Amino acid sequence: MIRFLSGLYVFFVLAALPCDAAPVSGYGFAPLERVTVYILAGQSNAVGYNNIREYHGDTSMLQSQLKEISGTLFWPGTNALPGTAGQWTGLRPGLSAIASDESYRNGCFGPEIGFALKLRELDPEGKIAIIKFAEGATGIARSSDYHDYIPALKGFDDQGNNWAPPEAGKPTGKLYTGLLENIRLALSGLEARNIPYRIGGFIWMQGEHEAGISPTMAGNYGKILSTFIRSVRKDLSINDLPFLIGEINSHTWAFGDLARDRQAAVCFGDSRSVLVKTVDLPRKGVGNLAHFDADGMLELGERFGTAASRFAAK
């Protein structure tokens, strides 16, 4: 059984991880070496619909930085590419499931890259691991709960493919169940390697879905998000788990301003949640204004890293 403990390092002796899960370089991990685990989830801008080849900065420096963090343990999710799905590997671009699309192959990445770079900059000796489970075009709200449909979405049914947490009389979303299962599997892998860990925070990049459905859904997003946060903390048995909430943009979604206002209100009322600003970041990842490009995604990850440092264990 997995035990989720806040502020404590735990490990169990099980079986060894596959050899391909060994760290590559950079941080590197040894048995009994303390690791802070961060969880990353959400929809397309958590997945990363972009390509590292889009980057406009110093590419040689970036390649050097990517090499430095390539030993950071990364769990790309059970929905990632075959060969890396459902196992620990070294952090690098190109692991998301959408890499099966030629536009993203070998180059797509989410906030995890910039996040690891920032935390390494802030604490070169710190050891982190990142658990990712994300899927594009998904919401927290169940489709059965939608109101004021825009005509094109009337009768929309997501077949339960949402992040809705457990609620009396209503089904739990498949993605919420999948999230907990990914966390369980990933932590079991650390335990198998005799790596003690603590869960340091939860990165959430989502909300565009509700912001594009209707004013009712956007207006309810604060309640929906608060319920999600409460449920995750309860299910992980970490009442003070920090949440880093990525702000959705207001340029693409019809009700983006309303949803962003609700995000801000949730973070204002929760001392363990931080709203990470995004509206100034460049978008048009692989031609879509809804998605951060490589430059924007790297900066987004760094902002998540700066936010996470507020809650770093002393």
Give me the tens of pLDDT residue by residue for the chain, a chain 314 residues long. Answer: 333 433 333 332 222 233 333 433 334 556 657 899 999 999 999 999 999 988 999 999 999 999 999 999 999 999 998 888 999 999 999 988 676 677 777 799 999 999 999 999 999 999 999 999 999 989 999 988 887 777 667 778 899 999 999 998 899 999 999 999 999 999 999 999 999 999 999 999 999 999 988 899 999 999 999 999 999 999 999 999 999 999 998 667 889 999 999 999 999 999 999 999 999 999 877 667 889 999 999 999 999 999 999 998 75
14 assigned to some structural domain: no
5 assigned to some structural domain: no
**Number of alpha carbons in the 13 Å side-chain half-sphere of residue 90:** 17
Question: How many helices, marked H, and strands, marked E, lie in the chain?
Answer: 9, 9
The CATH number covering residue 42 comes to: 3.40.50.1110
121 assigned to some structural domain: yes
297 assigned to some structural domain: yes
Q: How many domains does the chain have?
A: 1
Q: Domain residues for 115? A: 19-309
58 assigned to some structural domain: yes
Q: Please report, for residues 40, 165, 269, the alpha-carbon distance to residue 306 in angstroms, rounded to integers and kept in the order given.
A: 15, 28, 20
4 assigned to some structural domain: no
Q: Please report, for residues 154, 195, 197, 204, the alpha-carbon distance to residue 38 in angstroms, rounded to integers and kept in the order given.
A: 37, 15, 10, 11
Predicted TM-score of the model (pTM) = 0.90
- Give the contacts of 125 (CB within 8 A, at least 6 positions apart): none
160 assigned to some structural domain: yes
230 assigned to some structural domain: yes
